Amino acid sequence: MKGNELRSHARRYFPSRPWRVWVFRLFLLIIVITIGVLGWAGVAMKMQLSPTPLDPTLIALATALQYSPTASISPTTAPPSATFTIAPTRNSFLGTLVYAARNAGYTHLWAYTPGDATPVQLTKGDWDDRNPAVSPDGRYVAFSSNRDGAWDLYLLELRTGGIRRLTDTLGFESDPSWSPDGHWLACEFYYEGDFNIWIIPVNGGQSPIQLTNHPALDLSPSWDPNGRRIAFISNRDGTPDVFLADLENPDNRFRNLTHSSDVIEMNPAFSPDGSRIAYSANSQGLDLILIQDLNDLSTPPQIVSQARAAAWSPDGQFLATVQYNAIESLLQVTSLGEEGINAVGYPPIHGVLSLDWTEHGLPGEIYARDSGNSSATPLFVASALSEASGRLSLVELPDAVAPHPALSDAVDEAFHALRTRTAVELGWDFLGDLENAFVGINDPLPPGYAYNDWLYTGRAFAFKQTAVQAGWVELVREDYGGQTYWRVFVSTVVQDGSVGEPLRSLPWDFSTRHTGDPHAYDQGGSLRSSIPDGYFVDFTQLAADYGFERLPALTDWRTFYPSARFNEFVRTDGLDWTSAMLELYPASAIVTPTPYQTPTPTPTRTPRPTATPWWWRWRTPTPSSP
């Protein structure tokens, strides 16, 4: 290609541009360079004015102690220093938490002071102590106990460990709350089928005062630190609400503070200065802790956590609460500030039922008594398992009535111990007549049971549902994590208050689904209109003491009664269903639809006296006897 042709070809693909285009491009280049120079200058200035990074250890300490780090920027270019401002909540975790916790089959009082290695056990014995309330001077703990049979009120002197009985009746007395001067206790009393609030003197010399006298449920008193009001729970306006009793106004004494329909409220607690009140509310199966500002009732209450049973820190900056799930309860400490600190400075404490928080520390005599180091006596002793044959045996349940009265060798001792304890508590053998114990792999369960029901494993039992229709059992609905559970309360034979305790929650009534009420039909029943009279034992709690957990209702329980599954309890020992089945059966027996020979119960824990293990005889797709 010649020179002229090359120039012509270049002009075709790279045409010449007017001088204006080159001027515009030069102008854009100048702008880009200017922006880059200014950006680097800004970065340099920012680097000069940035504070020195804080030590992560100091940041963690600041968070733990509620410090508020603030950066102070100097007008000079030197790096500024960071200062920590001590917030008023620095001493929030001083004082002592006194609480009632369930351990080894009984509820007792414990205390924990931040900085201690472990909690200290204050009471022990084969009885229940609960609902602690520390006196304003920190010397005494008032509590309820059934150590002498009926539920009465007692006084524990922390320094000496001495215990004095305050009430001695066949009624039910519980949930004490101190007056600010330490001379009186507001309590809930249950007499003749009715809960009311009474005020009793601590040292005698004066007569008790009945604060409420209403056929409705009045319980859970909390005394205002300023002295002239008592908060309590009552369902006199329908559902349980928070009420205030004005001690200085006898003509118009009671005031409904919450007026919340379809919400069940419990456990009110005044803040240390009396300006706020915390309480728990259950709505659609969700437990919430709410705080109401008593100086501004027009403002809705503030939701602070998902839990129950609140106790205020001495400075009012924190709440100790009890968080529940289907299996256990756990202490949690929640900050009411913006930081949202949870459980700072507290070890995991399980089984907590009720609690109080005092500004006073524990006297040294408590540690000298060393009451917290004694281990609890086991509720039962399990014998060695017979696994010589590679499988667990079934053990017959003596004197028990059931289609197949046997359980796995892994749980039979726990069941015997639970059956005995339940009979003692109730006065009758509730577990002597069962709807089901072990169910063979070829024995189909009635409709409503799951295909992988725990009854097949020999680790579960089901009490008779007819006990509910007969009125011997009441069921309280509890919802956790989107699943419905039932707390089972069984009536005692003796109804004079010497055993058991009254119900404090409305039971569930399945029969209302058939009354023509569309709402009750859709919900699978409804709450009872009133709490049944009498004394009951919390069988769900007793079963949990011995390792037997309740099962959730199946998803169709609202329309199919057997799916409610309120009567079945299982001891899993951490196993899943398949692993539990493999304790009794070979894997091939579980997956095949062919009928399989059910394991034979053995009266002893020795292997079967056969030369060849019996399960190896199962070789054909048809049943064969050993």
3-class secondary structure, 34: helix
Below-70 pLDDT ranges, the chain: 1-93, 338-347, 370-375, 384-389, 448, 592-598, 600-626
Q: What is the DSSP letter of 420?
A: H
Tens-place pLDDT, residues 152-188: 999 999 999 999 999 999 899 999 999 999 999 999 9
The 10 Å CB-count burial string (b at 16+, else e) for 482-498 is: eebbbbbbbbbeeeebe
Between CA 188 and CA 622 the distance in angstroms is 65
Q: What is the DSSP letter of 564?
A: G
Q: What's the whole-model pTM score?
A: 0.79
pLDDT at 400: 95
The 10 Å CB-count burial string (b at 16+, else e) for 273-294 is: ebebbbbbbbeeeebbbbbbeb
pLDDT at 607: 42
Q: Where are the domains of the chain?
A: 3-87, 95-369, 394-617
3-state helix, strand, coil in the chain (%, to 5): 20, 30, 50
Nearest to 208 by CA among 243, 148, 166, 248: 166
Angle at 551 between CA 550 and CA 554, to 5 degrees: 150
DSSP 220-249: EEEE-TTSSEEEEEE-TTSS-EEEEEETT-
3-class secondary structure, 434: strand
3-class secondary structure, 304: strand
Residue 172 β-bridge partners: 190
Q: What are phi and psi of 468, to 5 degrees?
A: -70, -45
Nearest to 548 by CA among 459, 488, 476, 467: 459
* Residue at 32: amino acid letter: V
3-class secondary structure, 4: helix
pLDDT at 373: 52
pLDDT at 212: 96
CB atoms within 10 A of CB 443: 13
pLDDT at 76: 28
Instruction: Determine contact, residues 287/308, Cβ cutoff 8 Å.
Output: yes
Homologous superfamily (CATH) of 95-369 is TolB, C-terminal domain (2.120.10.30)
Instruction: Determine contact, residues 599/441, Cβ cutoff 8 Å.
Output: no
Between CA 565 and CA 524 the distance in angstroms is 13
Instruction: Determine contact, residues 231/257, Cβ cutoff 8 Å.
Output: yes
Tens-place pLDDT, residues 93-152: 578 999 999 999 999 999 998 777 789 999 999 999 999 999 999 999 999 999 999 999
Between CA 555 and CA 542 the distance in angstroms is 26
Q: Quote the percentage of the chain above a pLDDT of 90.
A: 57
pLDDT at 602: 61
